[in-house]
Chains A and B, each alone.
Chain A
């Protein structure tokens, strides 16, 4: 790839950016060129350094070496303040919003319109914000508290924050990770409007579909190194994936038709309350057979969390039954549930699946430390633990291969997830509940996790897959149920399901409408 000259046709140019964290080269001489008014994607796996590069552009980190040019002029971005002054705005992956504050307060924070003595003049500020809102056709109630608005709206607030500060260059870090299909559509429209307004947009992503939808050019980074800068038109998803991962990847999941056996798990008309004592799971029933993957699709907050907690015994079931292998397990202890050969891969692996400050080996026996051979006469047997850990590290190709005594915190997200999956599957469960098992993983790791789930199914196990990623549900489930407002509102076989009929039910549409689609 030829060297692009520094010129004022480019909104952002970065040259030879290098950043070292604790002896690890997070970025190694990376270049970036983004033309004015274009939408540019930065593609790379998790941990490739995409966010680090953008955090350097926004002044959150300083680069160890390299230069940055804005509109062809060299700049020294010491802190976010300088970046904002150069017209750069950034929407972080984890939103930088204060939940207790109103939308309005969040937008003006740090750049308040005031009268004498620093007294905030809300009216003046509101006028300015309203102008932007109507220009970009967003629908936002400025008075609402941020904690009371949806994630999609929160993202709009973040975009508004940047535009309010006069951003000409907008960085979006993994903007679709938390959105529903409909919200993604909305976001794409906003990006289109921004483009029409001649704003430059940089999108960090590892989702190939969205690059094709949103961007004109794309920079690919792999393991902190610049790989290529390409025009998106003329690239296939397969091509891009290959450049990103560095080897050939299968985007389509290969699996044979399921051969479901006898019924193993059943939920009968359960009702569950949420933290605020509202009925959140309503008369929900479903059943699973051996040798099938049941995908539960739905938008976040429709009772999935409460359903899971009810199954694993951390939340009370108000009425109804949960039956595993012919015995009722509702309202017993979590240990009893696990003893009925149910294993869980939790959505938030840091919060629910591992202890970050403990070693890989200790985490590996977390669900069986009290059982033989890991524990004999109340004493832990470290030898058995280590033997077991080494075996799973090898079987599941967890890297680095000598990580046994390292803290699990130091592993990459993909390898942490591999470890958790390895551990849960080693329990030889009859039912595996996988909640968002590929959350935050890159293409290569996703492929791997899907393969394992299918392999487990082929060993005649039942799998309940709860996911917000519709693609994932459609790709690997044998049967699909849609949860909406705490109930299953439709069930489909894999052949009958598609993005339209499932998507409609997820958004609260009626079953017959969905079937017409």
Chain B
């Protein structure tokens, strides 16, 4: 029993880490007033970059770094389109979601001799609880990925910056009433660029942790909906870092359920089990949707001097 619970906790945390990183990215972007539905695409490219660099350099950390950068670069496209050219943010994000996975598979074929999946990375990101030490104890099944800690740090840091510092105040103000920020002599464009790129970096890191901490290689289905689940977590978490974090834990738990029930005594078709996280997402969205706590100017391009 205990070991089952420990496995559940381990898996929940492991699966929630990439969701958390991506969701915090979503929170930051929405807080400054730019809707980023392109998170899925940014995660895909991050997953590919992480696995590829991890494979060729043998260094998972370098892989993770490149995952972040690649996500940030894709986010730059979104920023240019939606901030400078005032494109519809949903359309721009949708384009990112089409480009991301397509580009990832294309690059995978380029680097891995026409294969849509990468070769396994030689070393994954480390786990912080050494399983060897616990091998003979009841805690043998308990381990925590470094990515889990990384996600938690990002949550704490984002909360601190958002609610305690002047930069956070400005970001939140930009998402509520950009014209007010502009008339106080603060650049709306700079804040939005910065936040959208950070958002992409976090989504890229999220993708990278999937391939570097969970499955150790890139596959076309490595990122299959996590970006959208992260978006749901942003809404469920009422656009707050901790809210999003707890939402991600819930979604992570639903993925843990898939694993645990799949390996259990009960005979349920794995196809049905695999649906759990997505069904849960829909249920959560139906029950908790409502834009009352969304930043007011989210999704609306800002035009200087417009009334």
Q: At the interface, yes or no: B138 with Cβ under 8 Å from chain A? A: no
- Tell me the residues in window 160-174 of chain B with beta carbons closer than 8 Å to chain A beta carbons: 164-167, 169-170, 172-173
Which residues does chain B contribute within 8 Å of A82, judged by CB atoms? 185
Chain B contact residue count (CB 8 A cutoff): 22
Could you tell me the distance between the alpha carbons of A108 and B304 in the complex, rounded to whole angstroms?
22
Minimum CB–CB distance for B169 against chain A, Å: 6
State whether A55 touches B166 (Cβ < 8 A): no
Cβ-neighbour of A109 out of B181, B304, B305 (below 8 A): B181
Minimum CB–CB distance for B117 against chain A, Å: 43
State whether B185 touches A84 (Cβ < 8 A): yes
Q: At the interface, yes or no: B179 with Cβ under 8 Å from chain A? A: yes
Could you tell me the distance between the alpha carbons of A80 and B185 in the complex, rounded to whole angstroms?
5
State whether B183 touches A105 (Cβ < 8 A): no
Cβ-neighbour of B169 out of A55, A109, A161 (below 8 A): A109
Q: 1/0 per residue A475-513: CB within 8 Å of B?
A: 000000000000000000000000000000000000000
Could you tell me the distance between the alpha carbons of A92 and B169 in the complex, rounded to whole angstroms?
21
State whether B176 touches A98 (Cβ < 8 A): yes
Q: 1/0 per residue A89-105: CB within 8 Å of B?
A: 01010101111110001
Minimum CB–CB distance for A136 against chain B, Å: 20
Could you tell me the distance between the alpha carbons of A79 and B174 in the complex, rounded to whole angstroms?
17
Which residues does chain B contribute within 8 Å of A29, judged by CB atoms? none
Q: At the interface, yes or no: B177 with Cβ under 8 Å from chain A? A: yes
State whether A118 touches B182 (Cβ < 8 A): no
- Select from chain B the residue with minimum beta-carbon distance to A165: B184
State whether A96 touches B183 (Cβ < 8 A): yes
Cβ-neighbour of A118 out of B167, B179, B180, B307 (below 8 A): B167
What number of residue pairs across chains A and B have CB atoms under 8 A from each other? Answer: 73
| Given A55-B305, A99-B176, A101-B176; A110-B184 close (CB under 8 Å) | yes
Minimum CB–CB distance for A163 against chain B, Å: 14
6 smallest beta-carbon distances between A and B, as pairs:
A81-B185, A110-B184, A96-B180, A112-B166, A118-B165, A110-B186
Report A's interface with B, CB cutoff 8 A.
55, 58, 60-61, 79-84, 90, 92, 94, 96-101, 105-106, 108-112, 114, 117-120, 161
17 more A-B residue pairs beyond the given contacts A60-B183, A98-B173, A120-B169, with a C-beta to C-beta distance below 8 A: A58-B183, A79-B185, A81-B186, A94-B307, A96-B180, A97-B177, A97-B180, A98-B180, A100-B296, A109-B173, A109-B181, A109-B186, A110-B184, A111-B184, A119-B164, A119-B165, A120-B166
27 chain-A/chain-B pairs, Cβ below 8 angstroms: A55-B305, A60-B183, A60-B305, A80-B185, A81-B185, A82-B185, A90-B183, A92-B183, A96-B184, A97-B177, A97-B180, A98-B172, A99-B176, A99-B177, A101-B172, A105-B169, A109-B170, A109-B181, A109-B184, A109-B186, A110-B170, A110-B186, A111-B184, A112-B169, A114-B166, A118-B166, A120-B164
Report B's interface with A, CB cutoff 8 A.
164-167, 169-170, 172-173, 176-177, 179-186, 296, 304-305, 307
